[in-house]
């Protein structure tokens, strides 16, 4: 079996679909473009699963460690003998897991969109963008070197931009797309500088070599990067923190999270794919990829820990007060990614120490299933009631039983109720945090209680409280293509926790024995149950208890409702400070100095030509006259000179 | 002939040249312009003949040149008059200022 060909097919199939649908889709096969894209991706998904299966269970282990395989690699750009940019595909436990997650979630979203996006005029364009996104995301996780990853990173950003702005007739969608692009682009600047610092000192772009060189305290490269320092912080820390800023931008970590809630302007399946399961975990993936280096630098790892923990808490508090169901889910995503981040932050390398790393990846894996399920469920709800606001919903359990059940499973999973998927991964995260950092552990514990509360607030507001009035004819729960992904994902959200994850993906590749400590699990589960009970009391039936609680919190509630004014702070900084003190002077300089210079030179030219254009009369006699006077003058000159 | 110094003849030819020049610059009638050009050519002819006779009497180069110029001037006049007649047919005028049709 020629495995490198099969592996290359995984990202290439979506790329081909993108080109095909992007160029010809709208004109020739708009209505069947969804089917084409789905089949192509289905094939890609099957390949990923079979390759991951082969890799995990039938490939050779050396000392119990799964070896990294690079089936495809070629030089793409050769700048100088020492510097080239390669393209390649890497297969290791991390990328194999991501391959499965991405292609699978993407497939579910493709199928769901068949029903959800039916009848859209730009149906083919939608699928073309989805394929582009899938291609770039696959390229991102399979990158062999950091520069290739950066390129796909940007491609992912572009496709996210295109999909958020899919409804470009809506000004809010356009603004959201721009915001997402600009904020992540700004963060990517940090990523780029980080890449430059790391690769300059390590003299390589390749991940494997980079890690080997920067984790060997004796190597010249390690000595060089730790010797240099800026503002009292070593270049290694700078490089890693800057790379992490790039990751934080994509993963919506505080304070770069502002784009994620607005990104919900895109079609809901897109939110499920990009802004819940795949793209936003790219930052976590990036940190995990460079994890051996991060472990070497406790300062950078501390930044990761606290940014993650703070984002998790902040987002959970905001999620409790939002009324737009997609925004609640967006903040919940941000909170869960915060969990993954600080799990990486508290982790060590190897053995029991590496529990946080494994837990983070495990949570990434399970989160992908239940969060995309939540988004798809929300999509089905929005499809029915044509509104994003909780106030327009209620009592929907009678109208959409399948959505109701699957949504409930996902809510239980994210709240960490056993035996649902989220329980296992969150348990590992909390254990890791407990052993490493008590402060973070208590933040995490409180946040997981909050998570249960706001998820059930959402659940009861949609499916229980009150009675929605579906006026006119409505199309019921949705087509079969919308129900199937919900069911599949529901089953997975139920069982994904039983995957023997610690045997497969750990920081050093050696299988880790984990055990669920019942006594330890008691506290988080109790927290979750308390959260759920509060939600039941406040939101299950129509009552005004929630208003009472809200007014008891007073200003805090209001601040949370306003998302802690982070957007306002950004607006203040950009509009009042940057625009006034940097933008305006620069604009003045541009208008009055640069433009004026050009205008003046144009005006001088125009004035001169205005004055001399009379000379060119078009009359031959006139020209002959100049000629005559010229000859006369020259004659006079020569006579004067030679006489 | 020996009684006339070279400078006299050169003075005549120069006068003729500038008369031709003046006519060429000031007239708008194409026929007059053509005549002015002929005057200029003939002033040159006078120079050729005069220099030949006074400076190199044993050679005939200057005279040959003159004959050539006269011949070519005749044919040139024929072409020029043909153009002028054609212009007159289409424009009903022989004024050079009116013949801006082919500009631009």
A141-192 pLDDT tens trace:
888 888 888 999 999 989 888 888 888 888 888 888 888 888 888 888 989 9
Does residue B26 fall inside a structural domain?
A: yes
Is the torsion defined by CA of A482, A122, A263, A274 positive or negative?
A: positive
B31-48 burial, b at 16+ Cβ within 10 Å, e below that, comes to: eebbebbbbbbbbbbbbb
pLDDT at residue A1, as a whole number: 43
Place of tokens 């940057």: A578
Total count of residues recorded for chain A = 643
pLDDT at residue A26, as a whole number: 76
Out of B96, B100, B103, closest to residue A621 by CB: B96
Higher pLDDT, A31 or A185: A185
Tokens of A57: 């269970």
Min Cα distance B4 → chain A (Å) is 27
Instruction: State the total domains in chain B.
Output: 1
Tell me if the pTM is above 0.80: no
Grade residue A635 by pLDDT with cuts at 50, 70 and 90: very high
Question: Residue A74 belongs to what H/E stretch?
Answer: strand A69-80
CATH of the domain at B29: 1.10.287.3510
- The answer to whether B96 contacts A624, with C-beta atoms less than 8 Å apart, is no
Please count the other Cβ atoms lying within 10 Å of the Cβ belonging to residue A499. Answer: 18
Is the torsion defined by CA of A327, A332, A337, A341 positive or negative?
A: positive
- The answer to whether A618 contacts B100, with C-beta atoms less than 8 Å apart, is yes
Does residue B97 fall inside a structural domain?
A: no
For the residues of A299-357, what is the DSSP string, one character each?
HHHHHHHHHHHHHHHHHHHHHTT--BHHHHHHHHHHHHHHHHHHHHHT--SSGGGGHHH
Does residue B100 fall inside a structural domain?
A: no
- The answer to whether A619 contacts B21, with C-beta atoms less than 8 Å apart, is no
Does residue B83 fall inside a structural domain?
A: yes
Does residue B104 fall inside a structural domain?
A: no
Mean pLDDT of A331-337: 89
- The answer to whether B96 contacts A625, with C-beta atoms less than 8 Å apart, is no
Closest chain A residue to B102, measured at CA = A618
Does residue B39 fall inside a structural domain?
A: yes
- The answer to whether B25 contacts A620, with C-beta atoms less than 8 Å apart, is no
User: Which residues in chain A are contacts of B17 at CB distance < 8 A?
Assistant: none
A261-280 pLDDT tens trace:
888 888 888 888 888 778 88
Higher pLDDT, A207 or B88: B88
Q: Of A619, A626, A627, A630, which to mutate for an interface test with B (greatest number of B Cβ within 10 Å)?
A: A619
Could you tell me if A239 and A194 are in contact, meaning their C-beta atoms sit under 8 angstroms apart?
Answer: yes
Grade residue A473 by pLDDT with cuts at 50, 70 and 90: low
Does residue B1 fall inside a structural domain?
A: no
Q: Is B103 on the interface with A (CB under 8 A)?
A: yes
B29-61 pLDDT tens trace:
889 999 999 999 999 999 999 999 888 888 888
Does residue B101 fall inside a structural domain?
A: no
Closest chain A residue to B28, measured at CA = A621
Q: Is B24 on the interface with A (CB under 8 A)?
A: yes
Determine the structural domain holding residue B64 and report its residue range: 6-92
User: Which residues in chain B are contacts of A624 at CB distance < 8 A?
Assistant: 24-25
């Amino acid at each position: 079996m020629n495995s490198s060909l099969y592996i290359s097919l995984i990202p290439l199939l979506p790329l081909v679909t993108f080109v095909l649908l992007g160029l010809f889709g709208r004109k020739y096969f708009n209505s069947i473009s969804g089917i084409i894209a789905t089949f192509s991706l289905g094939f890609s998904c099957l390949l990923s699963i079979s390759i991951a299966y082969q890799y995990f269970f039938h490939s050779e282990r050396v000392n119990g460690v799964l070896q990294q395989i690079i089936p495809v690699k070629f030089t793409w750009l050769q700048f100088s003998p020492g510097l080239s940019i390669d393209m390649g595909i890497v297969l290791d436990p991390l990328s194999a897991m991501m391959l499965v997650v991405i292609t699978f979630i993407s497939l579910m979203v493709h199928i769901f969109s068949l029903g959800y996006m039916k009848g859209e005029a730009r149906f083919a364009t939608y699928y073309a963008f989805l394929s582009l996104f899938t291609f770039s995301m696959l390229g991102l996780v399979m990158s062999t070197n950091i520069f290739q990853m950066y390129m796909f990173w940007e491609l992912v950003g572009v496709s996210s931009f295109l999909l958020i702005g899919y409804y470009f007739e809506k000004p809010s969608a356009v603004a959201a797309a721009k915001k997402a692009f600009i904020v992540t682009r700004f963060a990517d600047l940090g990523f780029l500088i980080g890449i430059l610092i790391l690769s300059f000192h390590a003299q390589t772009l390749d991940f494997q070599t980079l890690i080997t060189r920067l984790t060997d305290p004796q190597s010249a490269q390690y000595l060089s990067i730790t010797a240099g320092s800026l503002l009292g912080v070593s270049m290694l820390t700078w490089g890693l923190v800057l790379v992490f800023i790039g990751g934080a931008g994509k993963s919506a970590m505080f304070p770069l999270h502002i784009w994620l809630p607005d990104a919900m302007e895109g079609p809901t399946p897109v939110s499920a794919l990009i802004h819940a399961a795949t793209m936003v975990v790219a930052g976590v993936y990036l940190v995990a990829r460079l994890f051996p280096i991060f472990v070497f630098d406790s300062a950078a790892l501390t930044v990761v820990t606290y940014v993650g923990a703070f984002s998790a808490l902040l987002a959970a508090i905001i999620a409790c007060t939002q009324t737009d169901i997609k925004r609640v889910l967006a903040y919940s995503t941000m909170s869960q990614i915060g969990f993954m981040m600080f799990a990486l932050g508290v982790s060590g390398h190897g053995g029991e120490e590496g529990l946080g790393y494994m837990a983070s990846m495990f949570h990434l894996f399970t989160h992908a299933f239940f969060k995309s399920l939540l988004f798809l469920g929300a999509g089905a709800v929005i499809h029915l009631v044509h509104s994003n606001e909780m106030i327009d919903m209620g009592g929907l359990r009678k109208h959409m039983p399948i959505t109701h059940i699957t949504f409930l499973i996902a809510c239980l999973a994210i709240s960490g109720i056993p035996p649902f998927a989220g329980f296992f991964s969150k348990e590992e995260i909390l254990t890791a945090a407990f052993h490493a950092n008590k402060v973070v552990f208590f933040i995490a514990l409180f946040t997981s209680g909050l998570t249960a509360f706001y998820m059930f607030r959402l659940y009861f507001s949609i499916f229980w409280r009150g009675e929605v009035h579906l006026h006119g004819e409505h199309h019921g729960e949705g087509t079969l293509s919308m129900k199937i992904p919900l069911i599949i994902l529901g089953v997975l959200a139920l069982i994904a926790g039983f995957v023997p994850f610690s045997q497969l993906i750990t920081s050093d590749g050696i299988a880790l024995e984990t055990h669920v400590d019942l006594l330890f699990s008691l506290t988080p589960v109790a927290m979750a149950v308390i959260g759920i009970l509060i939600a039941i009391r406040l939101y299950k039936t129509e009552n005004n208890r929630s208003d009472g609680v809200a007014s008891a919190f007073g200003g805090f509630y209001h601040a949370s409702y306003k998302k802690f004014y982070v957007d306002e702070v950004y607006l203040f900084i950009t509009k009042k400070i940057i625009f006034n003190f940097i933008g305006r002077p620069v604009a003045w300089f541009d208008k009055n100095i640069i433009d004026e210079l050009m205008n003046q030179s144009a005006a001088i030219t125009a004035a001169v030509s205005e004055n001399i254009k009379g000379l060119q009369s078009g009359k031959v006699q006139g020209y002959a006259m100049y000629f005559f006077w010229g000859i006369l003058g020259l004659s006079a000159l020569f006579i004067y000179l030679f006489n | 002939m020996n009684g006339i110094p070279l400078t006299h003849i050169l003075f005549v030819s120069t006068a003729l040249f500038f008369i031709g020049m003046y006519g060429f610059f000031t007239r708008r009638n194409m026929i007059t312009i053509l005549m002015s050009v002929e005057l200029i050519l003939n002033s040159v002819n006078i120079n050729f003949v005069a220099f030949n006779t006074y400076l190199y009497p044993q050679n005939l180069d200057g005279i040959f040149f003159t004959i050539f110029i006269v011949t070519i001037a005749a044919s040139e006049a024929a072409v020029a008059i043909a153009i002028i007649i054609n212009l007159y047919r289409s424009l009903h005028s022989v004024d050079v200022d009116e013949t801006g049709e082919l500009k631009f």
